[in-house]
Amino acid sequence: MIKSSFSFASKPKTKSIFRLRYYLLYWWLYCIVPSVFADGLQNIAPPPQHVNWFNVDNIPTTSVYNSSNSNQSTPSLNNSNANAVNAASVSNPDQFGDSFFHSTPLPESSLLAPVSLEEVQVGNSFFESANATTVSIRQIGATYEDRINMSDFYLYFNQLLENNVFYEIRLYMAYLYQTTNPGFPQVPASNQPNPPGYGSVGILGYVIFLNSNVSLMPFVRLGYYDNFYMVYSNSDGSYINSSQYVGQGGARLSLKVNNAFAIYTSYYAGYQIIYLSGGGKYANSDNPQIAGLASCMEIGTPYRMTKSLSVTPSVFYNINANNPNYAASTLPYNAITTTLNSTTFAIRLSYNF
């Protein structure tokens, strides 16, 4: 995500924000973490043979030894007995937790039954395997982001093509709280609701499979935001609007822990330029603008709830330069030159098809 320096202003912490973060912590501690550890415990003592119990042709033969008859022949497990063993093995299958915090028995055709590697892939390359034949994977979803002085929401569509090229398109909507902006300390907080912000982002990358569980994706991203960086509204008719353009490049490293859980980290940096406009006492025709570097470190933990549905909590650490030109650093804006840091929390719901 491209995070702007407007996200550093302090605001009174509301009960709803604390409640949201409490729910996210509850989800992490009581759903995701237990599932990962449970899966890890199952993998500590693997079976001595790699047997596909859902395929009778792969069931090994067994022998019966009777001390009273050492010449007894060694019978093989016939197909009828194999079918009986197979039926017994799936009569009480393992359980896979869902988003309602309980386990549900799944039929043989469920996620735990043998399927091709393409079928267990979840988009965004988090759960892909280098051993699988690359197929086109499409994903849609929504993300909510909680920042210090604003909240935003975006819808997205992405696709991993057969040639490992990845692209994503996002459409944003944001609401800035009635707080001050640390880059503009002399501009007071709005005395009426701010206008909503809008934006769009495009991402283009290429997935490189380092091994069966690790992938690296270099990418570039371009973004445009309206009323994200700075916005002000006053009942006397004074206002400030902003238009922000950002170009960045970076890479994402993904680790597939198992078929239900993954972890990734991304870093991207680039250049941004913000154009300011205003009315009333903030009117200025001298092209006030702010430019500088913008970077972000992101860590996320995708968790697959079903074959097609996954959820990803994530956290971002942003560093942005606030470097105004003369028109923006003097009256009426009085923007200051500084480096701004912020932290953003997000949760993404994804559906691949």
Task: Write out the H or E segment, with its range, that includes residue 228.
Answer: none
pLDDT of residue 250: 98
Instruction: Give the model's confidence band at 73: pLDDT under 50 very low, under 70 low, under 90 confident, else very high.
Output: very low
Whether residue 186 has pLDDT greater than 70: yes
Whether residue 236 has pLDDT greater than 70: yes
Number of Cα atoms under 13 Å in the Cβ half of residue 54 = 12
Whether residue 63 has pLDDT greater than 50: no
pLDDT of residue 55: 43
More confident call, 23 vs 61: 23
Lowest-confidence range among 91-95, 142-146, 252-256, 331-335? 91-95
Query: Quick one: average pLDDT of 266-272?
Result: 98
The SS3 call for residue 70 is: coil
**How large a percentage of the chain has pLDDT more than 70?**
62
Average per-residue pLDDT in the chain?
A: 76
pLDDT of residue 301: 97
Extents of the domains making up the chain: 5-41+114-352, 53-105
For the structural domain made of 5-41+114-352, what CATH number should be given?
2.40.160.20
Whether residue 277 has pLDDT greater than 80: yes
Lowest-confidence range among 90-94, 143-147, 206-210? 90-94
Whether residue 116 has pLDDT greater than 80: no
Check whether the bond before 60 is cis (ω within 30° of 0). Answer: no
Distance CA 223, CA 202 (A): 6
- How far lies 108's CA from each of 35, 38, 92, 112, 326, in Å? 21, 21, 10, 7, 69
Query: Quick one: average pLDDT of 217-240?
Result: 96
pLDDT digits (tens, 9 = 90+) for 190-223: 999 999 999 999 999 999 999 999 999 999 999 9
Specify whether the CB–CB gap between 347 and 154 falls below 8 A. Answer: no
Whether residue 351 has pLDDT greater than 90: yes
User: Which structure tokens are listed for 42?
Assistant: 């199952």
**Could you tell me if residue 251 is left (phi over 0), alpha (psi between -120 and 50 degrees) or otherwise beta?**
beta
Contacts made by residues 330-333, CB under 8 angstroms, sequence distance 24+: 332/278, 332/281, 332/282, 332/283, 332/284, 333/184, 333/187, 333/240, 333/276, 333/278, 333/282, 333/284, 333/288
Q: Which residues have CB under 8 Å from 29's CB, separation 6+?
A: none
Count of CB atoms situated within 10 Å of the CB of 170 = 20
Count of CB atoms situated within 10 Å of the CB of 40 = 12
Count of CB atoms situated within 10 Å of the CB of 1 = 21
Distance CA 219, CA 166 (A): 9
Q: Which residues have CB under 8 Å from 311's CB, separation 6+?
A: 99, 302, 303, 305, 347, 348, 349, 350
User: H-type helices in the chain, by residue range?
Assistant: 15-27, 33-42, 79-91, 326-329
Whether residue 20 has pLDDT greater than 80: no
pLDDT of residue 106: 42
Lowest-confidence range among 106-120, 129-143, 331-345? 106-120
Query: Quick one: average pLDDT of 38-65?
Result: 44
- How far lies 230's CA from each of 59, 269, 275, in Å? 66, 21, 10
Specify whether the CB–CB gap between 140 and 123 falls below 8 A. Answer: no
Query: Quick one: average pLDDT of 226-251?
Result: 96
